[in-house]
Chains A and B, each alone.
Chain A
């Protein structure tokens, strides 16, 4: 006997089948979303990051990715911060600030110090980052490239744009790294995860010793021929 079709049985409309293609996946319509997505192109960094000039100090060095490199700091271009002045035309005057920093041993590095590209760029309105920092569309995260930065710094040292560290500076750095390595050697006995830090400390120590071995001979302080001490 044939099945009688009930009057209120409407013929079923074919339901849209979700795409099973792995490459295309599910669309918004497949997921039942009725409106669209707002396009976000700009980074969402809320607070402004002012521009800056890098400063170098002959006694501030560290080891990064096996390279002995200077530890720079930033002279931030913001009005009344560390002596920086902003004029009515909006431009910054940093001569006084640089003179103050020079008294403490700091020297400015021109943004085009490597002759190729500026080390600072504008990522968004009011947001200035170094060349090794990347802002991401729709995100407040800024990621960094420590290795690339270390290689750039080492390049400046090797090409003479930044003078090599004095031996006493390297010796102080070596002493600190030796102390750190000793503490880590004790610590790794009870906290095995510290082995990674210990390995890094030993690599850094090796880099400093290599730099010491290959560096220029220290310029001795001249000693007078006569005994300078007023002894009877």
Chain B
């Protein structure tokens, strides 16, 4: 009598079984942040003849008030106040390459449809990662470096924007740690004097998982792409209104090639054209799937933002 075990039957069994469902490795996937109206879209550079897109800021609509004058005297004309912000656009790309055998074996897991979806999400996440580098770069700051962010400090930052007549709506982009400190501060202080409005499912559907809610008129987003500063011990988030950050992109000239697909503005931002192309190396039996986008973002009106620099550790 013999008893078979997994060891004796090992040659009959597969090495392992892979489920159809897959997990997503951890990453910040909040590409819809750019939809927020505080971000100013500079435009699509295609056909404009330059890789730099300029946006002008004009001192009109009541920017300068009238001056009194003595009766019968002439009023001296004054120069129009204006500023100009130039946003260059540059290429961003990503590629995966597979040989024919791996593509055949992994057909259910890795295929052009899945890679195209990744292309769109990666494009919007790229723009958010660029924006996150800038939110802590305004000349005016709130928060206490080395200490936890408090609700009072976020209120102070919002008040400073109001004092400078910054156009709303306001948005705060904080790191996960900063948001934790803010929530802890809400929980232990303020006694609900200003109500925290958590994000509804509809808002999350529009602005992504990073949108946490609204407090005191400030929409709060969390992005773990907010950089560190001060020797790596603080996070540099920020709160800003319209005009603080200006971004631009460029769509692609049509190629008429069936291996090149230009998805219109279908990434999470709702604005970025994404080029997804298949590049074949027949002699080696390999196929590459390449994603291209043309993006750029700059600081606009510096006074329209307030950096929030606080402790980076829990």
**Footprint of B on A, CB under 8 Å?**
46-47, 57, 59-60, 62, 64, 71-74, 76, 78-83, 85-86, 96, 100, 104-106, 129-130, 132-133, 142-146, 148-150, 180, 183, 187, 191, 197, 200-201, 204
Partner of B231, one of A78, A81, A148, A187: A148
Residue B298 interfacial (CB < 8 Å): yes
The 10 closest A-B CB pairs, nearest first, are A144-B232, A149-B231, A80-B90, A80-B296, A132-B231, A79-B90, A146-B233, A133-B232, A144-B233, A73-B137
- In the bound complex, residues from chain B placing their C-beta under 8 Å from that of A150 are 230-231
With A80-B297, A130-B231, A149-B230 in contact, do A60 and B141 touch (Cβ < 8 Å)?
Answer: yes
Task: Compute how far the CA of A46 lies from the CA of B296 in the bound complex, rounded to whole angstroms.
Answer: 23
Interface size class of B (residues with CB under 8 A): 35 or more
Stretch in contact with the other chain, from B6-14, B112-120, B143-151, B258-266: B143-151
Question: Of A60, A100, A148, which is in contact with the most chain B CB atoms at under 10 Å from its CB?
Answer: A60
Contact across chains for B133 and A76 when beta carbons are under 8 A apart:
yes
Residue B208 interfacial (CB < 8 Å): no
Residue B173 interfacial (CB < 8 Å): no
Q: Mark B129-140, 1 if CB is under 8 A from A, else 0.
A: 110011011010
Contact across chains for B146 and A200 when beta carbons are under 8 A apart:
yes
Partner of B146, one of A79, A82, A146: A146
Residue B312 interfacial (CB < 8 Å): yes
Between A and B, 15 residue pairs with Cβ closer than 8 Å are A59-B139, A60-B141, A62-B145, A64-B146, A71-B229, A73-B229, A76-B227, A80-B296, A81-B134, A85-B88, A104-B139, A144-B230, A145-B233, A183-B152, A187-B189
Closest beta carbon of chain B to A123's beta carbon, Å = 11
Closest beta carbon of chain A to B131's beta carbon, Å = 9
Question: Of A72, A83, A197, A204, which is in contact with the most chain B CB atoms at under 10 Å from its CB?
Answer: A83
- In the bound complex, residues from chain A placing their C-beta under 8 Å from that of B87 are 80, 83
Which of B84-139 touch A at CB < 8 Å?
86-92, 129-130, 133-134, 136-137, 139
- In the bound complex, residues from chain B placing their C-beta under 8 Å from that of A57 are 139
- In the bound complex, residues from chain B placing their C-beta under 8 Å from that of A183 are 152
- In the bound complex, residues from chain A placing their C-beta under 8 Å from that of B295 are 80
Contact across chains for B228 and A144 when beta carbons are under 8 A apart:
yes
With A60-B139, A62-B309, A132-B231 in contact, do A81 and B152 touch (Cβ < 8 Å)?
Answer: no
Task: Compute how far the CA of A47 lies from the CA of B307 in the bound complex, rounded to whole angstroms.
Answer: 23
Contact across chains for A197 and B230 when beta carbons are under 8 A apart:
no
With A78-B130, A144-B312, A146-B230 in contact, do A64 and B145 touch (Cβ < 8 Å)?
Answer: yes
Contact across chains for B236 and A81 when beta carbons are under 8 A apart:
no
Task: Compute how far the CA of A59 lies from the CA of B302 in the bound complex, rounded to whole angstroms.
Answer: 13
Task: Compute how far the CA of A82 lies from the CA of B90 in the bound complex, rounded to whole angstroms.
Answer: 11
Question: Of B89, B230, B295, B309, which is in contact with the most chain A CB atoms at under 10 Å from its CB?
Answer: B230
Contact across chains for A130 and B236 when beta carbons are under 8 A apart:
no
Residue B281 interfacial (CB < 8 Å): no
Task: Compute how far the CA of A200 lies from the CA of B234 in the bound complex, rounded to whole angstroms.
Answer: 16
Contact across chains for A85 and B90 when beta carbons are under 8 A apart:
yes
Contact across chains for A71 and B309 when beta carbons are under 8 A apart:
yes
Nearest chain-B residue to A147 (Cβ)? B231
Contact across chains for B130 and A191 when beta carbons are under 8 A apart:
no
Residue B44 interfacial (CB < 8 Å): no
- In the bound complex, residues from chain A placing their C-beta under 8 Å from that of B188 are 191
Nearest chain-B residue to A84 (Cβ)? B88
Contact across chains for A197 and B88 when beta carbons are under 8 A apart:
no
Residue B299 interfacial (CB < 8 Å): yes
- In the bound complex, residues from chain A placing their C-beta under 8 Å from that of B130 are 78, 80-81
- In the bound complex, residues from chain A placing their C-beta under 8 Å from that of B225 are 47
Partner of B298, one of A62, A82, A145: A82
